[in-house]
């Protein structure tokens, strides 16, 4: 029996029959190989998790608040929401607790919004190169994707969004990773932010701003998220995954208060409530005031690793390589010369050099091939030595491809 026959006999829904395991899962299996240097996944650095402070917070909660091992209400926990409101103030977003809804990570947050906003077969605006986890969210809706170009320096082509709206398109929402884009590492320019916020307001089309990386800013002056520029039509998704630890599985939405009741219905259907103990532990950690110092540490460590990687790319990759310096996040996008066979490079890198990265094509929206010559490199989860060794190894393999092709 072929897989397809098996799937049909399981009577899967049409979208599930057509779905394939995500490249992220394949990468997870690959990077589990011992001794492999991985620039593949978007993992925060485990060595930097604030384990002592979090152990203190979580064990105190466990010992003193037994009810946190109970079920709880969906999406609400007063003290955590108060801390998030305070945190967002630092990014120029003023919001009330009624506008905050707690989720199991940003992934669930964008999933819940899609469920509320998108009709089956509806339209969504997304960049040509985007986060595959978002495309997975969309799959059951079989939407029409209205894709717009994107730029590794300044982000989404907002003029192209305007052209779609002017042509009469009214998508359910526009998806934006405004800062530290996954996979491009780009952060949207100020002009584009202002214009996108204005378009959302003028046309009454919501922007879903997916922002796990906004707090990991390495620039002297960081730009405000879209949510700070437009409070009504931007629905913001934040996360503790990259600034504390993904294992806590806590994220949040900031939406108009009128939407939170609907969100609680969706949330209940997904997982009843976000793990209560985890929420209380994060709240306790936040109340200790230690996140500010921890963020400073992350910014220092990650920006130093980013610089090491850029330096290594300049030393070991072909001169024609284009690699932008990201001002936020964990990813660096390198655009390789067209003669490089990127999937083959990955196979050779894993087998011969014990290094992994993510080939750009994994981030193409269906029908697009813009990522073909790109590679996403994660710089947060490797040591400086590993970055030097890994990039050098990949560079040597690119040179071997050049020699085999007779390129000069
Ligand atoms: C753009 C983007 N959105 C959402 C997520 C999921 O985040 P969380 O762990 O908060 O669910 C990720 C994780 O890598 C991401 O890169």
Mutational test site, ligand 1, from 28, 131, 186, max ligand atoms within 8 Å of CB: 131
Distance 249 CA to ligand 1 centre (A): 10
Q: Is 124 helix (H, G, I), strand (E, B) or coil?
A: strand
Checking if the pLDDT of 389 tops 60, the result is yes
User: Hey, which residues does 378 pair with through a beta bridge?
Assistant: 331
The chain-wide mean pLDDT, for the chain, equals: 94
Query: Does residue 171's CB lie within 6 angstroms of at least one atom of ligand 1?
Result: no
CB 50 within 8 A of CB 294: yes
Q: What digits encode the pLDDT tens for the residues 287-312?
A: 999 999 999 999 999 999 999 999 99
Ligand 1 contacts CB of residue 127 (under 6 A) = no
What pLDDT does 212 receive? Answer: 98
* Residue 7: per-residue pLDDT: 63
Burial class (CB in 10 A: 0-12, 13-18, 19+), 385: exposed
State which of 28, 43, 105, 110 you would mutate to test the pocket of ligand 1, scoring each by most atoms of that ligand within 8 A of its C-beta.
Answer: 105
Give the pLDDT score at 33: 79
Burial 107-146 (b: 16+ CB within 10 A, else e): bbbbbbbbbbbbeeebbbbbbbbbbbbbbebbebbebebb
pLDDT value at residue 9: 74
Residue 16 has pLDDT above 90, yes or no: no
Residues 223-232 have a mean pLDDT of 97
Q: Mean pLDDT check: name the lowest of 19-33, 47-61, 129-143, 260-274.
A: 19-33
210 lines ligand 1 (CB under 6 A): yes
Is residue 175 exposed (0-12), middle (13-18) or buried (19+ Cβ within 10 Å)? Answer: buried
- Using CA atoms, how far apart are residues 67 and 73, in angstroms rounded to an integer? 12
For residue 240, the ligand 1 atom closest to its alpha carbon is 10
* Span from the CA of 60 to the centroid of ligand 1 (angstroms): 28
**Separation of CA 36 and ligand 1 centre (Å):** 23
Please write the tens of the pLDDT for every residue from 246-280.
Answer: 999 999 999 999 999 999 999 999 999 999 999 99
Q: Are 238 and 252 in contact (CB under 8 A)?
A: yes
Domains of the chain: 3-49+293-405 (3.90.1150.10), 67-289 (3.40.640.10)
* Span 369-386, average pLDDT: 97
| Helix residue spans in 69-124 (DSSP H) | 78-89, 105-117
Q: Compute, in angstroms, the gap from residue 114 CA to the centroid of ligand 1.
A: 15
> What integer is the mean pLDDT of 79-88?
97
The verdict on the CB of residue 107 being under 6 Å from ligand 1 is yes
Quick: pLDDT tens for 141-190: 999 999 999 999 999 999 999 999 999 999 999 999 999 999 999 999 99
pLDDT score of 164 = 98
With a pLDDT cut of 70, the percent of the chain lying above it is 96
Q: Which atom of ligand 1 is nearest to the CA of 177?
A: 1
- pLDDT of 73: 82
DSSP annotation of 230 reads -
- pLDDT at residue 3 greater than cutoff 70: no
Tell me the sheet residues that pair with 359.
375
pLDDT at 6: 65
């Amino acid at each position: 029996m072929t897989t397809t026959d098996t799937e049909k006999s399981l009577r899967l829904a049409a979208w599930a029959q057509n779905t394939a395991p995500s490249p992220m899962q394949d990468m997870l299996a690959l990077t589990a190989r011992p001794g492999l240097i991985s620039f593949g996944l978007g993992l925060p650095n485990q060595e930097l998790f604030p384990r002592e402070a979090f152990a203190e917070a979580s064990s105190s909660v466990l010992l003193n608040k037994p009810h946190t091992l109970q079920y709880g209400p969906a999406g609400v926990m007063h003290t955590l929401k108060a801390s998030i409101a305070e945190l967002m103030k630092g990014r120029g977003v003023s919001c009330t607790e009624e506008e905050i809804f707690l989720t199991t990570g940003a992934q669930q947050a964008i999933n819940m919004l899609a469920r509320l906003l998108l009709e089956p077969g509806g339209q969504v605006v997304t960049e040509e190169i985007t986060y595959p986890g978002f495309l997975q969210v969309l799959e059951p809706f079989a939407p029409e994707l209205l894709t717009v170009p994107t730029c590794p320096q300044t982000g989404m082509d907002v003029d192209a969004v305007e052209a779609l709206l002017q042509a009469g398109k009214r998508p359910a929402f526009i998806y934006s990773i405004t800062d530290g884009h996954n996979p491009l590492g780009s952060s949207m320019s100020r002009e584009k932010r202002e214009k996108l916020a204005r378009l959302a307001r003028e046309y009454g089309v919501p922007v879903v701003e997916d922002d796990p990386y906004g707090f990991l800013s390495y620039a002297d002056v960081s730009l405000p998220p879209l949510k700070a520029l437009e409070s009504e039509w931007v629905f913001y998704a934040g996360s503790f995954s990259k600034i504390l630890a993904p294992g806590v599985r806590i994220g949040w939405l900031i939406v108009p208060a009128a939407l939170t009741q609907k969100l609680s219905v969706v949330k209940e259907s997904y997982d009843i409530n976000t793990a209560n103990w985890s929420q209380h532990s994060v709240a306790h950690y936040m109340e200790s005031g230690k996140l500010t110092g921890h963020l400073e540490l992350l910014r220092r460590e990650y920006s130093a690793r980013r610089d090491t990687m850029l330096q290594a790319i300049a030393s070991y990759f072909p001169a024609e390589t284009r690699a932008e310096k990201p001002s936020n996040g964990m990813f660096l996008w390198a655009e390789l010369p067209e003669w490089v066979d990127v999937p083959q490079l990955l196979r050779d890198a894993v087998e011969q050099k014990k290094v992994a990265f993510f080939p750009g094509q994994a981030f193409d929206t269906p029908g697009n091939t813009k990522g073909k010559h790109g590679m996403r490199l994660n710089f947060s989860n490797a040591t400086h030595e590993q970055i030097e060794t890994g990039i050098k190894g990949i560079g040597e393999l690119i040179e071997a491809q050049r020699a085999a092709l007779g390129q000069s």
